[in-house]
Structure 1
Amino acid sequence: MATDPQRAAIWRDASVVDVRHHGDLAVILRLKVPERVVHRPGQHYVVRLRAEDGYTASRSYSTVSAPSDDLVELYVEKVPDGEVSGYLSEIVEPGDELEVRGPIGRWFAWDGRTPALGIGGGSGVAPLVSMLRHATEIGRPELLSLAVSAWTAEHLPYREELEEFGALVALSRQKGGSRLDAAVIGAIADPGATAFVCGSARFTLAMESHLLSAGQPSESIRVERFGPTGED
């Protein structure tokens, strides 16, 4: 019998159930994945596009949905001239099918049973929202602390959901806003928790440095980096 990792490695044709746009910044896709392997918060899916001539392009996107959700939710940030994000944000409609593979990743995955600190910048909040939803559904919100950053309120995905959960929100380019600086991170660092940091290279390097300076054990810090996004 195939194990979950073996099953997760199989490419499947997922049906697009819902398409919602986050302004001009991104698109939120909800997919029905046949014979879905239940993910852990923090894991991701690979979406592959295939042209008629056989050319393929693929990108990875974190799951936003809770493991209990029947559908897989992905937050796809629009990237200038992006092959995959452009198609997903401008062409895909409900009823379409997409090739997907996942869930993937064990390093940046929360078990939902131990304390966790999530720090995300811009679209890097996506896997943290999956953690938030899971913690809420299992009745253990006290296990998860969140701090998130974006340029403005409009640039922060899932802002209302994050605020309702009690996340610390820093808006660096909004009037009266703030940043996740060394003092802020020092106040929330928790040596007894696993720290999940997600965002651009610049953001994650700064957050990791702040955590280490605050005494967060290096072995407790897990980082996921990607390209430029709306945070600093």
Structure 2
Amino acid sequence: MRSVQSSFALVLLTGSLVACGGATPPPAEPDPAEAEAAAPAEKAGGEASEEGAGKKKDDAAAEASKQVPTTCDQQDTMCLPPAAFVKRLCSGFYPDVALSLFAKGTPFTRGYLTRDTEAWNASGGSSSNDKLLFDEEVLILYRRVADTGGMVVSGAGGGYDVLRWDGTCASLMTEEVRLHVPPKPKYAPIPWKSLDQKTRDAFQADEKVGPLIAERRKECKGATMGAVTAKCEKVDKQMGAALIEYVRNGGSLPAPGPLP
């Protein structure tokens, strides 16, 4: 009998030991010092990630500003090219880029002269010796708002920087421009000799423009100013009008050469 009781007690003791040995120990409490040390590292990693994303965004914006824009910065009811692009554009002379901006389908706001006006460029870049003419079409690049310190000053209405069809920029007073399209807009002449060769090739390939270019070359013999024949002057104007019409009607042009 004692032997049976001893065996039974041994079984109970063994079972208890097995049960205790197989139990999962409770998780260890985190070390406060380690948690504090890890927190700054996680924060630094997050900040670095945000800085990296911000730099990529800035780089993308800078790269986009170097291309000919196709979307606009909206100011009131006006669709204007990005300011950074405009600054570079008006600091130089880019007639091929001007054609791309004036092309059919571009969203940028056009303006029209209310009077004949002397051409000057407040940005310091190239300006034309030719006056801007009444009803001349321009592309509005930048809106300048007069700073009157909160006072109402007669005539202090600000103005615009605009692009002409010849690729030059001009600075105008607000009252010198209107948005209403006149019956017969005028256009600054496109500077044929200043265009990139690829652009000239595209014009010459057109069945309507090409013959006028050839006729102008024949009649003017490379000259369009000074002592030229009446026939040269006539065909030069015809060719200029044909170039404008080609661009306005959506004629194909290559990507412009030098960019701002």
Q: TM-score, normalised by structure 2?
A: 0.26
Q: Rg: which structure is higher? A: 2
Q: Larger helix proportion, structure 1 or 2?
A: 2
Select the structure that is richer in strand. 1
Q: TM-score, normalised by structure 1?
A: 0.28
